[in-house]
A and B are shown apart, each in its own frame.
Chain A
Amino acid sequence: MTESRTPLVEMNNISISFGGIHAVDNASVDLYPGEVVAVLGHNGAGKSTLIKILSGAYRRDSGDILINGEAAVINNPRDAKTYGIETIYQTLAVADNVDAAANLYLGRELRTPWGTLDDVAMEHKTREVMGRLNPNFQRFKEPVKALSGGQRQSVAIARAILFDARILIMDEPTAALGPQETAQVGELIKQLKKEGIGIFLISHDIHDVFDLADRVTVMKNGRVVGHARTQDVTKDEVLGMIILGKVPEKAIPGPGAMANV
């Protein structure tokens, strides 16, 4: 890369296989503070798997993860969170039967001096964060099940930014949203970027993320096809990377690039 700063995240030569299938094969990707990197590829290209290794949901077979240039030990979601890595999963990963505050604080509940749940304080903070994200949201007492798709999404996003994330992973963040809500998420990403948070955007649809991303990393069959700065390539060229594995001139080819044509 052209930058001389230390990357926020470096994932080097990551591999993982499930029952003999190489879901991710020797993949490397990096991310700088205040940068948005889109990880693109078809369904099954290995992008979600790669990123779940970073968020602690899967344990890698080999490869290194460096956070701020230092080797990081990430064996479970709790480990990832201690490094400031927060993830918004494609499935949202919310517990449907409890309310927004309970979801925001799941696993990190606020407690009173007696060790009981401080529901009121959690609701207070939830109202504050949700007020910033989605000012119209008022259904704090209802289980998340009763909310609309967009509202559930804002709950998942609120949970990720509540704890001062430094690295944010968004897996198909706009897949379930309407145009207005998609625009809202776009605005949020720009705002978070300004705050110096590094963001991985995972998507199978280039149109969703091309304008938001500073760089793209394209994956195919578990391998990295190549990296490119979005200002250097066109959407069509990136599509070529996604579909054919064909790397344009200004992109850096990876191990998964199509053999020389």
Chain B
Amino acid sequence: MSCAPANEPWEHAKAMAELTHTPSTPLTARPQANAVTRFFRATEIDTRLLGMVGALLIIWVGFEILSDGLFLTPRNLWNLSVQTASVSVMATGMVLVIVTRNIDLSVGSILGFVGMVMAVTQAEILPKLIGFNHPAIWIIALLVGLLVGTAIGALHGAIIAFLKVPSFIVTLGGLLVWRGGAWFITSGRTVAPMDPTYRLMGGGTEGSIGATASWIVGIIACIAIVGTIINSRRQRQRFGFPQRPMWAEYFLSALGCVLVLGAVAVVNSYPWPTAIARRYADANGIAWPDGGLFIAHGIAVPVLIAIVIGIIMTFISTRLRFGRYVFAIGGNQEAAELAGIKTRWVTVKIFALMGALCAVAAAISTARLNAATNAQGELDELYTIAAAVIGGTSLGGGMGTIAGAMLGALVMQSLQSGMVLVGIDSPLQRIVVGVVLVVAVWLDTVYRARAR
């Protein structure tokens, strides 16, 4: 077998350096003739993330078999995506919190409080001021929520950074305070209904963008994927750095596009329910065909929100100075301080960002329920933390990815809705989720110990 990968000179230099300079380097870093190893090195695919995708597929196929083909249907997968949106939005922020060796136990309560604030704003305050169904109601309510969420987060961050109270305690206090606050605002009364435009953020038949728009989004995503790969290659060419072999670039582009377009195809094959489609047909004067009218849901708005948040958070954490500082602080706080980083301000910003993300999650959650209750988001802090940790965020700090956390949220949600679908009793559901969390983190520990 020919053993000449395209990046050979690079590998060669690497091996030379290790032989001549660092005899203590572990042998694993040397190039190996193993095809699988070479494949992963050339494509730079994160094998950890790949393991999670594998686990997700096993869960999906497992439930597909157990439920006699009910799990892997467009309808269920579409619902799954909507159910995952709220927690995955918060999980992206939790990654940054945990990377700096902090924790936020208050996200569920902030969600409840901010959701209640937004509900009262749009259902009780604004109609009196600007009238019912005013087109600006949804955006004003959302902005108020974002403002309140950010302020709560910043307050938590300031107490943690400047008064030096451990984040565990501050946010444990926050868990009680904001849950109490949510109760206090309306004395425990549920607030409903939400503004019709606001409700689109929760998904549902109306809150989906339809087939054509979904394909457009999918195609834009594909262009973005290819563009990113080309741009990164150009950047590396600019200084003559080692590059991925061409076949790896093609492979990654193709893989990305297939995944995106596949997901769009799935959500586009979930039609509107007959009753709604018929009402729509009647309202728009469309003749009702014999086989029924097929109107696809397409991507749900909350899912679109979550994806956009995921992209923004990935950008923040990998491309901006702020993100670099977050990881540096997580790796070595003292070093970060000595390098002149204002670590306390970074902490305040992280928690403020977390608060803003809770507000987004609150909007999705209240819009979906079409109401705000004082129990909204209970236990969400634990699902959020679990999603981040299952997604590879290390509680020891310094490590974690946004994509991993979102995938972790999807794994958790898949387990839960799968168990509902199969008809497992709810006490047993919690037991399973708890066990899975512990096992997942144990497997990750084993993986990391071996990878070292």
Q: Is A4 located at the chain interface by the 8 A CB criterion?
A: no
Say yes or no: B14 contacts A138, CB within 8 Å: yes
Q: Which residues of B contact A93 (CB under 8 A)?
A: 332, 334-335, 338-339
Say yes or no: A151 contacts B22, CB within 8 Å: yes
Say yes or no: B22 contacts A109, CB within 8 Å: no
Contact of B332 among A57, A77, A94 (CB under 8 A): A94
Task: Classify the secondary structure of A's interface with B.
Answer: loop
Say yes or no: A95 contacts B17, CB within 8 Å: no
Contact of B340 among A76, A117, A138, A150 (CB under 8 A): A76
Q: Which residues of B contact A96 (CB under 8 A)?
A: 331-332, 398
How far in angstroms is the closest Cβ of chain A from B339? 4
Q: Which residues of A contact B241 (CB under 8 A)?
A: 120, 123-124
Alpha-carbon gap, A76 to B287, bound state (A) = 75
Give the contact-size bracket for chain B.
35 or more
Task: Classify the secondary structure of B's interface with A.
Answer: helix
Say yes or no: A78 contacts B340, CB within 8 Å: yes
Chain A, 106-158, CB within 8 A of any chain B CB: 106-109, 111, 115-117, 119-121, 123-124, 127, 134, 136-139, 146, 148, 150-151
| B23 (CB) vs chain A CBs: closest residue | A148
Q: Which residues of B contact A98 (CB under 8 A)?
A: 324, 327-328, 331
Chain B, 125-162, CB within 8 A of any chain A CB: none
With A120-B235, A120-B238, A138-B17: A97-B324 Cβ-Cβ less than 8 Å = no
Q: Which residues of A contact B338 (CB under 8 A)?
A: 55, 57, 77, 87, 89, 93
Say yes or no: A95 contacts B335, CB within 8 Å: yes
Q: Which residues of B contact A94 (CB under 8 A)?
A: 332, 335
Q: Which residues of A contact B16 (CB under 8 A)?
A: 136
Q: Is A234 located at the chain interface by the 8 A CB criterion?
A: no
Alpha-carbon gap, A130 to B300, bound state (A) = 50
How far in angstroms is the closest Cβ of chain A from B147? 24
Alpha-carbon gap, A56 to B16, bound state (A) = 40
How far in angstroms is the closest Cβ of chain A from B195? 36
Say yes or no: B340 contacts A116, CB within 8 Å: no
Chain B, 179-214, CB within 8 A of any chain A CB: none
Q: Is A102 located at the chain interface by the 8 A CB criterion?
A: yes
Say yes or no: A136 contacts B336, CB within 8 Å: no
With A107-B339, A134-B21: A91-B334 Cβ-Cβ less than 8 Å = yes
Chain A, 12-38, CB within 8 A of any chain B CB: none
User: 10 closest Cβ contacts across the A-B interface?
Assistant: A95-B331, A97-B331, A97-B398, A136-B21, A107-B339, A78-B340, A93-B335, A106-B339, A136-B17, A107-B340
Q: 20 A-B residue contacts at CB 8 Å?
A: A78-B340, A87-B338, A91-B335, A93-B335, A94-B335, A95-B328, A96-B398, A98-B324, A98-B327, A102-B327, A116-B315, A116-B319, A119-B235, A120-B239, A124-B241, A127-B239, A136-B20, A138-B14, A139-B14, A151-B21
The interface of chain A, by Cβ under 8 A from chain B, is 55, 57, 76-78, 81, 87, 89, 91-98, 102, 106-109, 111, 115-117, 119-121, 123-124, 127, 134, 136-139, 146, 148, 150-151
